[in-house]
């Protein structure tokens, strides 16, 4: 079954609703320039109240060194870090105590074999402007599943997520702006519709096997 990650959580109520609706993970953005940035102290309080089956993922961009990033993640209770910068394979491999999700911006020059050199095993394929609600040409991700667990993000909504699942069969889908009323504030009905659309798409894919 396709996992669902609701990213850009800034309020406990939204994290709670995402969990109750069936989300598998939430994303907390620690990049100061993001409109969805969350203070670490606030993030820690949200993580502390999450049910055990919901994974807390921290979003980072070019953090200064992997050791301090790992220490920071563990201090908050994060179970995974999502790296959106120019982190090298060596950088990623030095993070051992939390799961690593390496993000790639997919543009017309993207090649899926780029993933081969990164040992994280879990990759987020995103639009060129993460968090901006812009998708990429999904055909550019064909074959990516051969290199690890693939998460698809970028411009996903309740109306198009079923198509990306039937097209790419990803491990998970990642959504932020597609389920918001404004940056950082989730819309309950949009989250519900998104997760229901994922469930219907999974049923359709299984029925076609």
Yes or no: say if 108 and 140 are a contact pair by the CB < 8 Å rule: yes
DSSP element (H, E) containing 76: helix 66-76
Yes or no: say if 26 and 9 are a contact pair by the CB < 8 Å rule: yes
Scan for tokens 């081969």, then name that residue: 116
Does residue 7 have an active-site annotation? Answer: yes
How is residue 75 written in tokens? 């201090």
Q: How far apart are CA 41 and CA 17, in angstroms?
A: 20
How is residue 191 written in tokens? 């989250």
Does residue 189 have an active-site annotation? Answer: no
Q: Which of 14, 24, 126, 174 is catalytic?
A: 126
> How far is CA 119 from each of CA 13, 96, 114, 208, rounded to the nearest angstrom?
35, 11, 11, 32
Q: Which of 7, 14, 17, 174 is catalytic?
A: 7
Q: Which residues are catalytic?
A: 7, 126
């Amino acid at each position: 079954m396709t996992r669902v990650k609701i990213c850009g959580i800034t309020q406990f109520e939204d994290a709670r609703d995402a969990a109750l609706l069936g989300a598998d993970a939430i994303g907390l953005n620690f990049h100061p320039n993001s409109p969805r940035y969350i203070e670490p102290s606030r993030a820690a309080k949200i993580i502390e109240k999450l049910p055990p089956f919901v994974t807390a993922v921290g979003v980072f961009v070019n953090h200064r060194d992997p050791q301090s990033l790992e220490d920071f993640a563990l201090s908050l209770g994060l179970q995974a870090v999502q790296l959106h910068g120019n982190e090298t394979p060596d950088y990623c491999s030095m993070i051992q105590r939390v799961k690593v999700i390496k993000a790639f911006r997919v543009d017309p020059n993207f090649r899926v074999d780029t993933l081969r050199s990164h040992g994280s095993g879990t990759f987020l394929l995103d639009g060129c402007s993460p968090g901006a609600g812009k998708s990429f040409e999904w055909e550019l991700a064909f074959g990516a599943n051969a290199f690890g667990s693939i998460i698809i993000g970028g411009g996903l909504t309740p109306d198009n997520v079923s198509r990306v699942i039937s097209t790419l069969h990803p491990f998970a889908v990642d959504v932020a702006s597609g389920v918001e009323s404004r940056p950082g504030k989730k819309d309950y009905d949009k989250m519900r519709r998104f997760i229901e659309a994922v469930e219907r798409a999974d049923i359709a894919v299984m029925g076609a096997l």
